[in-house]
Structure 1
C-alpha cells in the first residue's frame, strides 16, 4: 500500500466518529490444555483473490446506528454488529490494489478475512487458521453453545512500519508504541508485518479482541487484554499443546488480584506494560488451573449482560466464591512454575 493513499484517507473519515464513540463506550502459559476441549473441524478455505468493491458507509449511518440502540433493559448489540459489517466493508474498499484477501470459516463459527500485501505465505495462513481454531475451542469449553455463533474476524497486515503507522493513524490511533490495533467501530485490526512469528502473535492477539467483543460484549480491559495476551502464546509446536511462557517473566511479581480487577481507570495513567503483564498472568493462571471454574463462571456472567461490565466487587465475589484461596494458590503456583522451569533449563 502506498504511504499516502488519498482513497483510503477519504473513505476512513466517516469511521473516525464511530471509532471514538465505541472507544468511549468500551473503555467506561501452562503446560497443558483444559480437559474436554472440542476437537477443531477442518476449515473450508477459499483461494486468494483481489479485494472487491463494497457499498460504502455514509456518515449519517453512524448517527442512525447509535440512535437505533435498543432502550430495553435486555442488552442487544445487533445494531452494533450490523454497523460493523458496513464499516468493515468500507474499510476494505479503501485498501489499495496491492492487497490480496484470504477468506475461510473456522470451526463453523469464525469467519476470517485476512488482507495482506504479499508479505505472508501459505504457512503463515495455515498457522493462523489452526491457532484460531484452538482459541475458539477454549471459548467453546468455557461458554458452550454461547460460543457457537458467527464471529467475524477482519485482519489487515501492512507490509512495513511506515504503511502500518500511516493506516492506523488515519483511523484516529497513535501507532508509535504498537504493532497492532483493533478498532471496535469497524471490527477490523491493523497489524504490522515483522516476520511470521511476531506477526502471527499480534494477529492472534487482535483477533481475540474481535472474539471477545462478539461473545462477551463490554468487558474490563484487564480481562480483555489478559485473554488476548494468553491466547497469543498458544504453543501448537509443543507435544502436548499449552502456552509459551518464560520463567523470567513469571519471576516478576504481578499486581495483586483485586488491584488488577480494580484497574479499569488506570490504563494509560500508570505503567501500561505492567498492567498487560498482570492481566496476562492472572488470566493464564485461571485458564490453566484444573481446580477451579472461576474463569468460566466469570465469562458466563459477562455474557449475560453484554452492554455493561461487571464491577470490581462483582468480579471479586465470583472469583472468590469459585476459588476461596485463589490468591494463596496463585502465589504458590507461580513459585512452583519458576522452580520447574529453572530446573528444566539446567
Structure 2
C-alpha cells in the first residue's frame, strides 16, 4: 500500500546517502556556515591597512570534475594589525650564524648551509645554539589537542620551505628572526572562546594572528583547510617580522601565494589554487597591477574577493621570472626601510615603472597563458 510516508522515507534515504558520500569523500558541506557567509558578507568589515590576519572559512565546491572555486569570508585584517600588531621587530631578531671549533656556519640566501673558517661578510650576529640547529631563524611552536605528529611535521616542512624561499627573494642579510606559536583549537566554540580571551573576534573566521603576542589561533577543520589556514597566518607573521606594515595586496598576495605550497622531501612547489578554465587560465576578472596598488580603499567593498585573487595573481606573476623576483625584492626592501608605514601607490608605481617598464603587456601575456605550477 502506498502511503504519504513513502516519499518522506525515500527523501530521507537519498539525503542520508548523499551525506555519507560527502563525508567519506572528505568534502563535508556545513550548511549553517555557508548560509552564515552569504548572509553576512555584505555587512562584514573588510580592511584598511594592517595585520592581525584573519582567514575566513573556505568552502570548496567541485566543478568539471577537477577544478575548485574558493570562497572566503572577508575580514578587516589591516585594522586588526594596527590594534594587535607591532611594526618593528624586537632588537636582535636578525639572522644569526654560529661558530664552533673555528668553523663558521650559516645559511645563504638560497637556503644552502655554508661552512667556512672565515666570518660571513653580512652583518649577522653571533649565535651559539643550545641544540644542533644550524640557524636560529624560525622559532616555531605548534600545539593543539587534535594536532598529530604527521600534521605538525608537515606544517613545519611547509613553513621552513616558505622561509627559505622568502630568503631567496629578499636575501639573507635582510631577513629577521620570526617567533611564532600556532595553536589549533578542536572546535568552533573553543576557538571563538580563546580568540575572545585574547581580545579578538572569532566569529566568521577560521584563523587569526595576534602580532603583539606572536600567536596564531586556528580552528580545526579538514586536514588541508586547517593546514592552509595555519600557513596563511604564519605568512602574516613573517611579513610583520621582516617588513612591518605593508599594503593589503602585498600582505594578502604573499599569504595567498604561499598557503598553497606543497613539499616533498626537499622539493617545494606552488600549485595554482584559484579556479582555472579548461585551458588553465584564471577565470573571472583580474585587477591589473597598476590598478591593484591603487585599490587599498576598495578592500572594504564587494570587490574584496576579486582583490584577493588579483593579489595572488600578481605575486604569482612576479615569482615566475628573475626580473619579477627582483622587483618583489625591491618592494620588500623598501617596505622594510619604513616598517611602521606602508608604501603609497605612487611609490609602488615608481618601483614598477623602473623595474617592469613593460608590465602591462607582460602581465596580460601571463593571463593569456596557462597558469603553471612553480618550483621553489
Does the alignment reach a TM-score above 0.5? yes
The equivalent residue for 2:143 is 115
Q: Which has the higher helix share?
A: 1
1:226 aligns with 2:253: yes
The equivalent residue for 1:160 is 187
The equivalent residue for 1:269 is 301
Superposed counterparts of 1:80-95, under 5 Å: none
* Correspondent of 2:285 among 243, 253, 264: 253
Output the CA distance in 2 between the equivalents of 1:106 and 1:326: 40
- Render the CA deviation track for 1:82-103: whole Å, top value 9, x for unaligned: xxxxxxxxxxxxxxxxxxxxxx
TM-score, length basis structure 2 = 0.60
Asked whether the equivalents of residues 81 and 211 of structure 2 are also in contact (C-alpha less than 8 Å), the reply is: no
Q: Which runs of 5+ in 1 are unaligned?
A: 1-18, 28-35, 42-103, 342-346
Distance 1:228 1:327, change over 3 A: same
Instruction: Give the secondary-structure state (helix, strand or coil) at the position aligned to 1:235.
Output: strand
Output the CA distance in 2 between the equivalents of 1:254 and 1:300: 26
| Runs of 4+ deviating beyond 6 Å | 24-27
Superposed counterparts of 1:1-346, under 5 Å: 22-23=82-83, 37-39=110-112, 107-117=135-145, 119-237=146-264, 241-246=268-273, 248-249=275-276, 250-292=282-324, 293-337=326-370
Q: How far apart are 1:174 and its partner, in Å? A: 3.5
Output the CA distance in 2 between the equivalents of 1:226 and 1:299: 13
What is the aligned residue count? 252
Pick 1 or 2: higher relative contact order, CA cutoff 8 A, min separation 6.
1
Q: How far apart are 1:226 and its partner, in Å? A: 0.6
Output the CA distance in 2 between the equivalents of 1:26 and 1:271: 28
Asked whether the equivalents of residues 220 and 264 of structure 1 are also in contact (C-alpha less than 8 Å), the reply is: yes
Output the CA distance in 1 between the equivalents of 2:182 and 2:216: 5
Output the CA distance in 2 between the equivalents of 1:150 and 1:116: 24
TM-score, length basis structure 1 = 0.65
Output the CA distance in 1 between the equivalents of 2:223 and 2:133: 21
Q: How far apart are 1:227 and its partner, in Å? A: 0.6
* Aligned-residue CA RMSD (Å): 3.0
Output the CA distance in 1 between the equivalents of 2:195 and 2:184: 11
Q: Rg larger in 1 or in 2?
A: 2
Q: How far apart are 1:243 and its partner, in Å? A: 0.7
Output the CA distance in 2 between the equivalents of 1:174 and 1:289: 39
Q: How far apart are 1:211 and its partner, in Å? A: 0.7
Q: How far apart are 1:239 and its partner, in Å? A: 9.9
Q: How far apart are 1:217 and its partner, in Å? A: 0.7
Q: How far apart are 1:147 and its partner, in Å? A: 4.3
Instruction: Give the secondary-structure state (helix, strand or coil) at the position aligned to 1:308.
Output: coil
